[in-house]
Amino acid sequence: MFKITPLKGSLSNVDGFYCDGVNVGMKTNTANSGVSDVDGDVAFIRSDTLCDISAVFTTNTFAAAPIKHFQKYPKNFQSDFILINSKNANAMTGKKGIEDIEDILENLESKIKIQNPIMSSTGVIGYRLKKDLIKSAFDKFDFQAKNSYKTARAIMTTDSFEKELCFKVELEDGSYFHLAAICKGAGMINPAMATMLCFVITDANVPKPDLDKLLQDATNQSFNTISVDGDTSTNDTLLIMANKKSGVYNKEAFKTALFALTKELSFQILKDGEGSNKVVAFEVSGAKNKSEAKIASKALSNSLLVKTALFGEDPNWGRIASTIGASGIECDEESLIIKYDELLIYSKDKPSLDEETEQKAFKIMKKNEFKISCELGVGVGKFTSYGCDLSYEYVKINADYRT
Amino acid sequence: MFKITPLKGSLSNVDGFYCDGVNVGMKTNTANSGVSDVDGDVAFIRSDTLCDISAVFTTNTFAAAPIKHFQKYPKNFQSDFILINSKNANAMTGKKGIEDIEDILENLESKIKIQNPIMSSTGVIGYRLKKDLIKSAFDKFDFQAKNSYKTARAIMTTDSFEKELCFKVELEDGSYFHLAAICKGAGMINPAMATMLCFVITDANVPKPDLDKLLQDATNQSFNTISVDGDTSTNDTLLIMANKKSGVYNKEAFKTALFALTKELSFQILKDGEGSNKVVAFEVSGAKNKSEAKIASKALSNSLLVKTALFGEDPNWGRIASTIGASGIECDEESLIIKYDELLIYSKDKPSLDEETEQKAFKIMKKNEFKISCELGVGVGKFTSYGCDLSYEYVKINADYRT
């Protein structure tokens, strides 16, 4: 048995970790930020001791320079410093992009004693980093700060709110450890700008093999189940630093807390989905197997016609059926059952919506969160993914972004 | 050698074919139609002799009732009549949907002597046909009419203009045949409404095996290369009727004319793409093989981020690169070259856009038609697909459609 309690302040609660965010002039306006101050554009997270590091990166072949730089370190390397910038993804910048990182980090190492520093970037693709601007942050940082709010805001791009979370995990004997994270992304996966970045820190005494395995599992049940626009960024990064300081560990408790933490942060990204107004769960069951359930569920969360019907709050279930039929998985209109929350919308005996059901469906679709479930009736495969509606605002944000 | 000349009036030019479109009260407004009269909602195309029929249908598992009804006829059946309705797709209507067609066509056969009539439908999914309304068309039709304009308009849904075309194909000895077609669709593939339907008629003396093979080939190089929104309808149909009346045939001439006809009509669909303002060719070359080139090209024409950048006329090539990288095909940022028309936008030696190139790129993106080409440099596979931008208007049309 164990107890998980959320704490305010995210990263600042974890002993031995420090963080800060400053503005060096790359972010010049407060657009989308919801605050009157211009946010930072360079941030760091550091530990006063070496940490085990696990990370999960984008599957995009054109992984950005920071990811390639990370991969140059030997397997199971330890680190105590992450430098993060927004506004520029340092992607499609070739060898020069990696040399820029080496140059920046070399300069950083002349200012503060660190080992194997990591860099992470988000922003526009295809531009070299402004090295001098980024280096100018090193004189502005307070390396002893525990300023998680400023850090969380400095890594934002089109996000409309900062995303931070901390759990205190207490075991039965009263001992405890922490898991804390900051995260950004207003498209799950949004190549040119709203890359998903998530940095988790913990003082749990977690063994490295557990850290690797559980981070991968957590990714699969959180960030990998959501989609704002179906595009996969060059920079997606989920990284965890474990300094082991608490000396406390329980695998089940750590796993539960890590899953809850990543699930909650992935939902925050979806809620902040560019131009989105609602979060919808697409629960596919009765598929031939899990893989086919996943294909159908992902097809639903990515379909333009489904997403615009969600925005229009139109219970046009034909688009749901058609998308499943088009996904190429085994299905049959005789056995298909579609529900919105618990409301039966389609079965072979009830193809057309009667007026009463339609009115009930309208009400469900007006909610900010609801579930569309599709029982295929051909097997036992299940998968749920999460998506959002597609609004004028999405088009506006993405048409206007760079200019 | 042969000569292909476009003629005005599409279907009406072909000897032995008749067509008409009437309104029975299903279409009640002139939205999107660009004309002040309410268009028809039921139409027919008939031949005064039996025709060979070839057809290519949707790959959607939930193929609509009219498609299942067609498939009940024996292989290589001949027919002389196609009945078409808009406003209702007769999809996801089960066995009842097929019985409705049988009932309607039985009624039709009591009014006019026809053999093996075919029905085709487009519109909203999940509603039974209003049989009596559709039957009421049979007293309004002029079965001797050659009214291709009214026919082309009666099959429209969200289309903003009718799509019709006729080629006269003259051989060296002065003999000739015709190929004529009407077509509808304002999303290539747009499940709940804008299904792609295309009906081609010809008096060429084309052998049935050629008809089957060439129609499939024509589909692959025309309709299968375009995408408005990446969704595949339950009703997509491309059908050709050959009455052989001219007695004239030349395979190369027929093939060339059929390819040109379907290519032109598929472009008309794209130009009429819901809310779209421009047509863009995504030419991928140097891929490992054709199949990988196709994956990358289709990923580009379907990417929300690429489509919104086209709408914003923003030469944000990072989204092009990122989409290719995310498509899972073999590629390398060292060998990738991106061009907009003939303008070099990215190569490894030129990652960032300079001011002059950016200004030139802006100009290209303002055009209604241009080409984005990506040379991958890993093989000889090539594929070009065609897409359009994603505008506020697309969201509006699809959010508002049913209500």
Q: What is the pLDDT of residues B334-382, one digit of tens each?
A: 899 999 999 999 998 876 778 899 899 999 999 989 999 999 999 999 9
| Candidates A128, A398, A401, partner chain B, best to mutate (most B CBs within 10 A) | A398
Domains of chain B as residue ranges with CATH: 2-270 (3.60.70.12), 279-400 (3.10.20.340)
Residue B88, beta-bridge partner list:
B122, B124
Q: What is the percent of chain B where pLDDT is above 70?
A: 91
Confidence of residue A7 (pLDDT cuts 50, 70, 90): very high
Local confidence band at B236 (pLDDT 50, 70, 90 cut-offs): confident
Say if residue B219's pLDDT is above 80: yes
Q: Do A125 and B392 touch (CB under 8 A)?
A: no
Structure confidence at residue A228 as a pLDDT band (50, 70, 90)? low
The sign of the dihedral angle between the CA atoms of B395, B374, A230, B294 is positive
Does residue B189 register a pLDDT over 60? no
* Mean of per-residue pLDDT scores for chain B: 87
Chain B residues with CB under 8 Å of A305 CB are 187, 190-192, 229, 231, 398
Decide if B373 contacts B338 (C-beta within 8 A): yes
pLDDT of A189: 42
Residue A221 burial (CB count, 10 A)? 13
Size of interface A-B (CB pairs under 8 A): 239
Question: Pick from A94, A328, A392: which is nearest to B395 by CB?
Answer: A392
Residue B194's φ and ψ, nearest 5 degrees, are -95, 35
Q: Is B273:B163 a contact under the CB 8 Å cutoff?
A: no
C-alpha span between A70 and A245 (Å, rounded): 24
The residue that leads in pLDDT, A58 or A403, is: A58
Are A166 and A180 a contacting pair, CB within 8 Å?
yes
pLDDT digits (tens, 9 = 90+) for A62-78: 889 999 999 999 999 99
The answer to whether B319 contacts A191, with C-beta atoms less than 8 Å apart, is: yes
DSSP character for B230?
S
Q: What is the mean pLDDT of residues A257-268?
A: 88
- pLDDT confidence of residue A231: 63
Confidence band of A270 (pLDDT split at 50, 70, 90): confident
Q: Is B301 on the interface with A (CB under 8 A)?
A: no
Catalytic annotation, residues of A: 195
Q: How far apart are CA B9 and CA B162, in angstroms?
A: 12
The answer to whether A87 touches A39, Cβ cutoff 8 Å, is: no
Q: Where are the beta strands (DSSP E) in A71-175?
A: 78-85, 118-121, 163-171
CB B147 within 8 A of CB B12: yes
Average pLDDT, chain A: 87
Q: Is B180 an 8 Å CB contact of chain A?
A: no
Coil, helix or strand for B178? strand
Burial class of B291 by CB neighbour count within 10 A (0 to 12, 13 to 18, 19+): exposed
Interchain contact, B309 vs A398, CB within 8 Å: yes
ipTM: 0.72
Q: Which residues neighbour A153 within 8 Å (Cβ) at sequence distance 6 or greater?
A: A21, A33, A35, A39, A40, A162
Distance CA B98, CA B71 (A): 11
Q: CB count, 10 Å around CB of A222?
A: 23
Tell me the shortest Cα–Cα distance from B393 to chain A, in angstroms: 8
Least confident of A187-191, B6-10, B356-360: A187-191
Tell me whether residues B395 and A400 touch, CB distance under 8 A. no
- Nearest Cα of chain A lies from the Cα of B375 at a distance, in angstroms, of 15
pLDDT (0 to 100) of residue A173:
94
As a whole number, mean pLDDT of residues A201-222 equals 92
DSSP letter (8 states) at residue B211: H
The Cα–Cα gap between A243 and B304 comes to: 40
pLDDT at B308 over 60: yes
Question: Which B residues, 219 through 248, put their C-beta within 8 Å of a C-beta on chain A?
Answer: 229-234
Q: What's CA B32's distance to the chain center, in Å?
A: 18
What mean pLDDT is predicted for residues B196-204?
Answer: 90
- Residue A358 is encoded by which pair of tokens? 């339609």
Of A124, A333, A399, the CB nearest to B62: A333
3-state per-residue secondary structure call for A187-199: CCCCCCCCCCEEE
Task: Tell me the shortest Cα–Cα distance from B1 to chain A, in angstroms.
Answer: 42
Q: What percentage of residues in chain A have a pLDDT greater than 70?
A: 91
Torsion (CA) B211, B217, B222, B224 in degrees, nearest 10 = 120
Lowest mean pLDDT among A230-239, A255-264, B21-30, B366-375: A230-239
Q: Is B88 on the interface with A (CB under 8 A)?
A: no
Whether the predicted pLDDT of B54 surpasses 50: yes
Buried/exposed code over B243-282 (b: 16+ C-beta within 10 A; e: otherwise): bbbbebbbeebbbebbebbbbbbbbbbbbbbbbbebbbbb
* Cβ contact A93:A69 at 8 Å: no
* pLDDT band at residue B191 using 50, 70 and 90 as cut-offs: very low
Rounded to 10 degrees, the C-alpha dihedral B252/B256/B261/B263 comes to: 140
The position carrying tokens 């036992």 is: A380
What pLDDT is recorded for position A350?
A: 78
CB-based contact B304 A229, cutoff 8 Å: yes
Model confidence band, residue A30 (pLDDT cutoffs 50, 70, 90): low
Which amino acid belongs to residue B265?
A: L
Q: Is residue B105 packed enough to be buried (19+ CB in 10 Å), middle (13-18) or exposed (0-12)?
A: middle
* CB A221, CB A52: distance < 8 Å: no
Best mutation target among B59, B92, B122 (most A Cβ atoms within 10 Å) is: B92
Kindly list the residues from chain A whose CB atom is less than 8 angstroms away from the CB atom of residue B192: 305, 309, 316, 318-319, 322
**pLDDT, position B228:** 59
Q: Is the pLDDT of residue B183 over 70?
A: yes
User: Which pLDDT does position A33 carry in this prediction?
Assistant: 47
| Identified catalytic residue from B58, B195, B225, B237 | B195
Partner-chain contact B331 A62, CB within 8 Å? yes
Nearest CA in chain B to A337: B92
* pLDDT (mean) for A218-243: 79
Q: Name residues whose C-beta falls within 8 Å of residue A31's C-beta, 6 or more positions apart in sequence.
A: none
Which chain B residues have a beta carbon less than 8 Å from that of A366?
none
Q: How high is the pLDDT of residue A123? A: 85
Q: What chain B residue is nearest to A397 in terms of C-alpha separation?
A: B308
Q: Does the CB of A25 have a partner CB in chain B at under 8 Å?
A: no
User: Which B residues in the span 35-54 are in contact with A, Cβ-Cβ below 8 Å?
Assistant: none
Q: Which residues pair with B344 in a beta bridge?
A: B339
* pLDDT band of B230, cuts 50, 70, 90: low
Instruction: State pLDDT tens for residues A142-158.
Output: 999 999 999 999 998 87
| Coil, helix or strand at residue A122 | strand
Which pLDDT score, from 0 to 100, does residue A379 have? Answer: 96
DSSP label at residue B247: -
pLDDT, mean of residues A4-9:
91
- Cα angle A304-A310-A314, degrees, rounded to a multiple of 5: 115
On the question of pLDDT at A9 being above 80, the answer is yes
DSSP codes of every residue in B63-83: --HHHHHHHTSPTT-EEEEEE
By C-alpha distance, the chain B residue nearest A334 is: B94
For residues A317-335, average pLDDT:
88
Measured between CB atoms, which of B128, B191, B323 is closest to A191? B323
Distance CA B190, CA A322 (A): 9
Q: What percent of chain B has pLDDT over 90?
A: 59
**Residue-wise pLDDT tens digits, B84-126:** 999 998 988 889 999 999 999 999 999 999 999 999 998 888 8
Residue B324: its chain A contacts at CB < 8 A?
Answer: 61-62
Q: What pLDDT does B10 receive?
A: 92
Which DSSP state fits B11?
A: G
Are A399 and B312 in contact (CB < 8 Å)? Answer: yes
Residues 181-220, chain B, touching A (beta carbon < 8 A): 187, 189-192
The interaxial angle of helices B392-400 and A392-400, nearest 10 deg, is 170
At A214, is the pLDDT very low, low, confident or very high (cuts 50, 70, 90)?
A: very high
What is the pTM assigned to this prediction?
Answer: 0.77
pLDDT at B33: 47
Task: Report yes or no: B57 at the A interface, CB cutoff 8 Å.
Answer: no
Q: Which residues of A touch B234 (CB under 8 A)?
A: 318, 321-322, 325
Cβ burial B187-222 (10 Å sphere, 16+ → b, else e): bbbbbbbbbbbbbbbbbbbbeeebbbebbeebbeeb
| Residue A81 predicted with pLDDT over 90 | yes
- Residues of chain A neighbouring B93 (CB-CB closer than 8 A): 351
- What pLDDT does A194 receive? 46
Q: Does A3 touch chain B (CB under 8 A)?
A: no
A14-28, A178-192, A246-260, B228-242 — which is least confidently predicted? A178-192
Q: Which residue has the tokens 């931008």?
A: B389
DSSP helix, strand, coil percent of chain A (3-state; round to 5): 35, 25, 40
Whether residue B333 is predicted with pLDDT greater than 80 in this model: the reply is yes
- Is a pLDDT exceeding 70 seen at residue B187? no
Local structure of B343: helix, strand or coil:
strand
Q: What is the pLDDT of residue A402?
A: 47
